[in-house]
Chain A
Amino acid sequence: MNTQQMPGSQNQSSFAATLRAALVHNAVWPISVLVLILVVNAIVAPAFFSIRIQDGRLFGSMIDVLYRGTAPAMIALGMAVVIGTKGIDLSVGSIVAVVGSVIAWRIKEGDPHLVILFTALAVGIVCGMWNGLLVAVLDIQPIIATLILMVAGRGIGLMVNLIYGGTDPSFESELLQGLSVGNIGLIPTRLILFVVIFAGLWLLLRRTALGLFIESVGGNPAAAQLAGIPSRLIKFSAYTISGFMTGWAGIILTADVHTSDPVKVAMFSELDAILAVVIGGGSLMGGRIYLGMTLLGALVIQTMVTSILMSGMPPEYNLIIKALLVLIILLLQSNNFRAAVIALLGRRK
């Protein structure tokens, strides 16, 4: 992306030049960290890589990474779209909570489960539209606008649980659990669902002009307006997309454990989502949406989490290790840091 010359670059070998050219691509850093984590795993816990077929489904830690990463990745993709408009959506965790409580409630009320599926999605979309209304129509700063639902959402979830008493929010649903924890052939259903939704999102952004418009609005709002783009509508739609993606995440997470826990479900998921976007090379300044790279970012985070769980390390270290790994990725992505390291190495030679 950035083709700035680094200091002292003239008198280096052509191999170094090639290497530097390769390093210019965004994907290199998250991928190398991913590889690094996997290598550490290979040494510490070789079982990480074993994949076998058990009870007619694929089974193994690598599958777990994909499986557990599905919901966070959906949230992160929605976040990438919002960040593309130079916005942010802090309310995603709370939207998951609201979606979950509505699913539990409607199941207790005896609605047909297919209807509940669409109700849950509609709840996610309406939450997104609410954010969009505050940001795009009322011009409230995104961080504040989405903070409102972030704070209120879990409370709304608790109130919904109270409608039916809330003592036992667990439920059974063949359809929803099938989507979340079932499998089609050897493949977990949620992975197939994810591929379909990802493809749909990609088509929406890249096979219509919506992606271009979102990036224009995020990159230079004044220029986008003069170029004839309806900025408010575009921003509104970005938050709505985030609500839709988060709605799906809510369905998967809720049906996964078939219970509703509005207070703790998807806690801090907004931070992981933002992190995934940033690891994927997205800038909080907006102007670009990298769907594939965001997916890679979410994958790195989930690999990290699963590796920590597999490692047998005391849980007190979880957060520190995660923070360190994230720091390493972000340092590697920083042009200034890389230039400093290269200058340092050059001097030693």
Chain B
Amino acid sequence: MKNLKLVAAVVAGAMMLASTSAMAVTIGFSQVGDEGDWRPAFSKDMQDSAVEYGIDLKFADAQGKQEEQLRAVRAFIAQGVDAIIIAPVVVTGWDQVLQEAKKASIPVFLADRDVEVEDNSLYVTRISADFNLEGKLAAAWLAAESKGSCKVVELQGTVGSAAAIERQKGFQAVLDQFPAMEIVRSQSGDFTTEGGKQVMEAFIKATNNLEGICASFAHNDNMQLGAIQAMKEAGLNPGTDVLMVSVDYVPAMIKALEAGEANASVELRSAIGKFIYPVVLDYLEAPKDLPKWIVIPGDLHTAK
């Protein structure tokens, strides 16, 4: 039954797209792939809001491969789209294809991740969340909540990933302002629930049931959810005994916040079409120099 409905929806959507394409602005969007919870939601929102804005969106999934992505961008150029949005797979290797886009007078916007190019004018702007800011927001909330005195355990994301590095830096930058706040333990939970659970289990044993620990900061919600499970299984009360703050604001975390098992989560918006499309459409109407990075604010949500 469900599948039938799905097919019907897809067909209806395709027909709508076909009917609007005659006059609408055409934008090519090259997405990284569909890993994790966040990215598929991001893709879906980009497609849904394109309909709202009356944009004819050409969506290409690069399946995590840059060569796939380069091919997609060249196809967009060949089709003569009005603008191209890229969520880059990697940061380097973009100069050539961006030159081609520039030659074809097609403006390029970056979503989510950054690129490194010699000539910054090759893309208009990057519109994305700021991992560093997310770390700062989490730390600022924690400083307020603990009155500037708190021993923190940290669940890091995958070692070496941009999100893990920047969230750690932002968090630490704020902590440095408060002499009584420090990270006492830090380990990688690989952004997974299971990893977060296993790391928290070890922390619990290593710190004699989180004695003297006032907060757990996780680089994403999945790990924090795992940490909550580990604490509950050890007879601790997450959210009460220990402050729980993390990043993402996924549905399961919303439930945890409602249940009082977590205290705060910084939203990594997946519904960011409404932030991206206006910038692109305004630029197409009246091209002007934009700052090279437009930050999408990540709101901090608390239990209340």
A residues whose Cβ falls under 8 Å from a Cβ of B: 45, 47-48, 50, 54-55, 59-61, 64, 68, 158, 162-164, 166-170, 181, 253, 256-259, 261, 263-265, 267, 305-306, 309-310, 312, 314-316, 318-319
B2 within 8 Å of A by Cβ? Answer: yes
Task: Check B35–A263 contact: CB distance below 8 A.
Answer: yes
**Given A257-B194, A263-B36: A168 in contact with B251 (beta carbons within 8 A):** yes
Which B residues lie within 8 Å of A61 (CB)?
A: 202, 205-206
Q: Is the CB of A318 within 8 A of B188?
A: yes
Chain B residue nearest to A264 (CB atoms) is B192
Query: Can you list, as one digit per residue, whether each of B177-215 has a CB less than 8 Å from chain A (1) or not (0)?
Result: 000000001111011111001110111011010000000
Q: In the complex, are the beta carbons of B252 and A168 less than 8 A apart?
A: yes
Other-chain contact of A48, B156, B191, B205 (Cβ < 8 Å): B205
Q: In the bound complex, how far is the Cα of B199 from the Cα of A167, in angstroms? A: 25
**Interface-side segment among B16-24, B81-89, B227-235, B279-287:** B227-235
Question: Assuming the A-B contacts A158-B34, A259-B193, are A55 and B201 also in contact, with contact meaning beta carbons closer than 8 angstroms in the complex?
Answer: no
| Cβ A60 vs Cβ B194 within 8 A | no
List 10 contacting pairs A-B, 8 Å CB cutoff, sorted by A: A47-B206, A64-B202, A169-B37, A181-B229, A256-B194, A257-B193, A259-B222, A261-B194, A310-B205, A315-B156
**B residues less than 8 Å from A55 (CB atoms):** 234-235
A305 CA / B190 CA spacing, docked (Å): 13
Q: What CA separation (Å) do A318 and B187 show in the bound complex?
A: 9
Question: Across the interface, which residues of B come within 8 angstroms of A318, CB to CB?
Answer: 159, 188
| Given A264-B191, A265-B192, A315-B186; 4 other pairs, CB 8 A cutoff | A61-B205, A257-B197, A267-B192, A316-B160
Nearest B residue to A319 via CB reads B159
A163–B4 CA distance with the chains assembled, in angstroms: 11
Whether a CB of chain A sits under 8 angstroms from the CB of B250 is: yes
| Closest beta carbon of chain A to B266's beta carbon, Å | 19
Which chain B positions have C-beta within 8 A of A158?
A: 34
- Chain A residues within 8 Å of B40, by CB: 162, 166
Classify the secondary structure of B's interface with A: helix
CA distance A158 to B43 in the complex (A): 14
Q: How far is the CA of A261 from the CA of B234 in the complex (A)?
A: 24
B297 to chain A, nearest CB (A): 22
B127 touches A (CB below 8 Å): no
Using a CB-CB cutoff of 8 Å, which residues 161-187 of chain B contact chain A?
A: 185-187
B226 interface residue (CB < 8 Å to A): yes
> For the complex, what is the distance from the CA of A170 to the CA of B226, rounded to whole Å?
11
Closest Cβ of chain A to B34, distance in Å, is 6
Rank and list the top 3 A-B pairs by shortest CB-CB distance, nearest first. Answer: A309-B202, A315-B188, A257-B193
Task: Give the complex CA separation of A309 and B203 in angstroms.
Answer: 8
Please give the distance in Å from B182's CB to the nearest CB on chain A: 13
- Given A257-B197, A315-B188, A167–B205 Cβ distance below 8 Å? no
Q: Does B225 contact A (CB under 8 A)?
A: yes
Find out whether the CB atom of B159 lies under 8 angstroms from the CB atom of A257: no
Whether A261 and B192, one on each chain, are in contact in the complex, defined by CB atoms closer than 8 angstroms, is yes
Chain A nearest CB, measured from B214 CB (Å): 18
Whole-angstrom distance from the CB of B28 to the nearest CB of chain A? 24
Quick one: closest A residue to B185, CB to CB?
Answer: A312
Distance, CA A130 to CA B233, complexed state (A): 37
